[in-house]
Amino acid sequence: MYCALHDVIFTLQSNNVTDSSWIVCLTDGASNKVRYTEFEKELRKSSPNLHLIIVGINLPQRYQDHIRQLCTKFSQEDSKGCFIPTEADADAIENAFGAVASRIPVSLTFELDGKLTDGECLSFMEKYFPNFIEKDDKLLKTVRIKFLFRRVKIFDENNEFNFNDRYESLGSSLMKVMLREVENLDFLFHL
């Protein structure tokens, strides 16, 4: 575990990653101390935007305080990392990863789907433009893209949305409202 975590932190730091980064580790706690000292040094000096979440499966109590210390980067105030204990059954592990997902800003989880190339993005946009927008109508396409972009930024930059833990189905509710707004915009353009 320590070797793998050391390599991930070292790679992120070496590549000067400036965006928030989340390392999620699943472990049963059994790990020898090979490269632990190097890992601890990298973790302590890692940037404040690097966060560590460890999901411990049936982790003995004697390991849990140590793992919590790692997740908070030895009690650094700005760390958003956490330790999530779980049992060794599928439902418990699924719940644990639900807890992981709730800790990571929603907008950052979009990256898990992989980044689109410019060509793929253009292809999706072309596919979903309404029929009344002509293929070479750059003005209407630009207005529609900017309209959509402003709404997507809400998902990306709004902490109440990204760290929502009070409202069930907030994302799908907001998405429905935004889609209705897009339909209304399309209706106005179509007039």
**How confident is the model over 129-182, as pLDDT tens digits?**
888 888 888 888 888 888 888 877 777 777 777 777 777 777 778 778 877 887
pLDDT at 191: 61
Say what the pTM is.
0.61
**Tens digit of each residue's pLDDT (9 = 90 or more) over 75-130:** 888 888 999 999 999 999 989 988 888 888 766 665 555 677 888 888 888 888 88
Does residue 15 register a pLDDT over 60? yes
User: How distant, in Å, are the alpha carbons of 29, 38, 53, 85, 185 from that of 56?
Assistant: 7, 22, 10, 5, 48
| CA pair distance 176, 162, nearest whole angstrom | 17
Mean pLDDT of 42-65: 90
Output the six-digit token pair for 172: 């799908």
The backbone torsions φ and ψ at residue 107, rounded to the nearest 5 degrees and listed phi first, read -60, -30
Residues 42/75, Cβ–Cβ less than 8 Å:
no
Q: Are 86 and 28 in contact (CB under 8 A)?
A: no
Q: Decide if pLDDT at 57 tops 90.
A: yes
The pLDDT, as a whole number, for residue 84 is 95
In 3-state terms the chain splits into helix, strand, coil percentages (rounded to 5) of 60, 10, 30
Say if residues 43 and 70 touch (Cβ distance below 8 Å): yes
Q: Do 149 and 181 meet the contact criterion of CB atoms below 8 Å apart?
A: no
Percent of the chain with pLDDT over 90: 23
